[in-house]
């Protein structure tokens, strides 16, 4: 291992043995992970390839015509209904990820810098509601925001409003509120992890060199926690774009998102290729949006320094 031991005959043998070990180690590691890897290949990679293939085909009643065509993409990108749904889904997921990150940052900061020995208790408290069924959490928002719901009846009981407001449920704001609540824990954890990695002596140094608390936060802590902010934003943005349950339960007519249209193509409308093209388009656009988010946050981070 060190230069001093190299060259002496008995140790050269050990080195040879170690080389043999090194050669077999990758094999052993790969062999061990292969069942899980193959499972993911068959049930994740292969299916996604099949979806991509379908998106270039055409549905003829019950059979699928396998001649290459871009027609599905033309429909997905130009038909007003799909274009509107795509835009709305992107708008909702962008708003939700922005909101969750903004709301989550102070909490993550509080736990990391002021949590003391209760850090893990706080994290546990925050993750518990997230482990409950997603469907049930969306359902409880429906109970809260409904016409005869908790919020309306509560506000009426307090004499703040005279009759139930219909503005609460069945629109995109209801979808945004519900999703922001549902994904909160996902945003807090990555930010917390990156704040934990911030070297506290750097913050002290900034303070010693005359930066006030706000300046040292903006110039030291915030830029250093940028990786956490990036992963929090992406971990919320990518799945919410394709959310199905929330728009279906609380979105109403004005809150329908692209996932509902995708589901319809695989269900009632029975146009698999179009559904596949909508899925691929959604994934591509969300990837672009995620990339743009990363670039913007990095640029801001550089400016802050």
Partner 1 sequence: MIAVRRFLSGGWLATYAFLYVAFLYLPVIFLPIFSVNTAATPKFPLTGFTLHWYEDLPRTPALLDAAWNSLIVGVSAAVLSTLLGILAARSITRYRYPGRSTIHGLIMAPLVLPEVIVAISMLLVMLQLGLSLSLFTVVLGHVLVCIPYSMTVLTSGFEGFDRSLEEASADLGESAFGTFRRVTLPMVAPAIISSLLVCFTISLDEFIIAFFLTGTEATLPIYIWGQLRFAAKLPGVLALGTLLLVASFLLMTVAEILRRRAARRTQNEGSLYA
Where does 41-146 have alpha helices with state H?
46-54, 71-78, 80-114, 119-131, 134-145
Backbone angles phi, psi at 244, to 5 degrees: -110, -45
88 binds partner 1 (CB under 8 A): no
Scan residues 33-52 and list those touching partner 1 (CB under 8 A).
33, 35-37, 39-41, 43-48, 50-51
| CB closer to partner 1, 64 vs 299 | 64
Q: How far is the CB of 279 from partner 1 (least distance, A)?
A: 5
Q: Total binding residues for partner 1 by CB under 8 A?
A: 92
CA–CA separation, 155 and 145 (whole Å): 11
Cβ pair 249, 174 in contact under 8 A = no
| CB closer to partner 1, 172 vs 180 | 180
Q: Quick one: which of 206, 204, 231 has its CA closest to 113?
A: 204
Tell the residue number behind the tokens 């016409």, with chain if given: 147
Tell the burial category of 288 from Cβ atoms under 10 Å away from its Cβ (0-12, 13-18, 19+). exposed
Q: Kindly write out the interface string for residues 272-301 of this chain, putting x where it contacts partner 1 by CB under 8 A and - elsewhere.
A: x--xx--x--xx--x---------------
| CB closer to partner 1, 142 vs 298 | 142
Scan residues 214-253 and list those touching partner 1 (CB under 8 A).
234-235, 238-245, 249
Backbone angles phi, psi at 64, to 5 degrees: -115, 125
| CB closer to partner 1, 8 vs 153 | 153
| CB closer to partner 1, 57 vs 226 | 57
Q: Quick one: which of 142, 167, 148, 146 has its CA closest to 249?
A: 142
CA–CA separation, 175 and 245 (whole Å): 10
Residues near 274 by beta carbon (within 8 Å), at least 6 away in sequence:
59, 72, 75, 76, 265
Q: How far is the CB of 7 from partner 1 (least distance, A)?
A: 26
| CB closer to partner 1, 9 vs 26 | 26
Three-class secondary structure of residue 58 per DSSP: strand
Q: Tell me the β-bridge partners of 60.
A: 63
Q: How far is the CB of 58 from partner 1 (least distance, A)?
A: 15
Scan residues 168-197 and list those touching partner 1 (CB under 8 A).
181, 184-185, 189-190, 192-193, 196
76 binds partner 1 (CB under 8 A): no
Work out which of 11, 32, 70, 296 binds partner 1, going by CB under 8 A: 32
Scan residues 257-276 and list those touching partner 1 (CB under 8 A).
259, 262-263, 266, 272, 275-276
114 binds partner 1 (CB under 8 A): yes
């Amino acid at each position: 291992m060190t230069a001093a031991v190299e060259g002496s005959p008995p140790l050269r043998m050990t080195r040879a043995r170690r080389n043999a070990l090194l050669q077999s180690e990758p094999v052993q590691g790969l062999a061990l992970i292969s069942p899980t890897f193959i499972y993911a290949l068959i049930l994740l990679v292969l299916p996604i390839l099949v979806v991509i293939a379908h998106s270039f085909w055409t549905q003829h009643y019950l059979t699928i015509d396998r001649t290459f065509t871009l027609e599905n993409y033309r429909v997905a990108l130009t038909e007003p209904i799909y274009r509107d749904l795509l835009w709305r889904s992107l708008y909702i997921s962008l708003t939700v990820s922005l909101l969750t990150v903004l709301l989550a940052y102070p909490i993550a900061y509080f736990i990391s810098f002021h949590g003391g020995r209760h850090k893990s208790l706080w994290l546990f408290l925050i993750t518990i509601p997230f482990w409950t069924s997603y469907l049930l959490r969306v359902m409880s928002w429906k109970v809260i925001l409904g016409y005869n719901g908790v919020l309306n009846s509560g506000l009426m009981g307090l004499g703040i409003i005279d009759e139930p407001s219909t503005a609460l449920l069945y629109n995109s704001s209801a979808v945004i509120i519900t999703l922001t609540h549902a994904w909160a824990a996902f945003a807090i954890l990555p930010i917390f992890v990156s704040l934990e990695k911030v070297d506290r002596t750097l913050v002290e140094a900034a303070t010693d060199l005359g930066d006030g608390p706000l300046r040292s936060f903006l110039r030291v802590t915030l830029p250093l926690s940028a990786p956490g902010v990036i992963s929090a934003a992406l971990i919320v943005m990518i799945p919410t774009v394709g959310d199905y349950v929330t728009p279906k339960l609380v979105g109403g007519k004005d809150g329908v998102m692209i996932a509902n249209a995708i589901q319809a193509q695989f269900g009632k409308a029975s146009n698999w290729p179009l559904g596949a093209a909508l899925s691929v388009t959604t994934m591509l656009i969300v990837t672009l949006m995620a990339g743009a988010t990363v670039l913007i946050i990095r640029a801001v981070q550089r400016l802050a320094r």
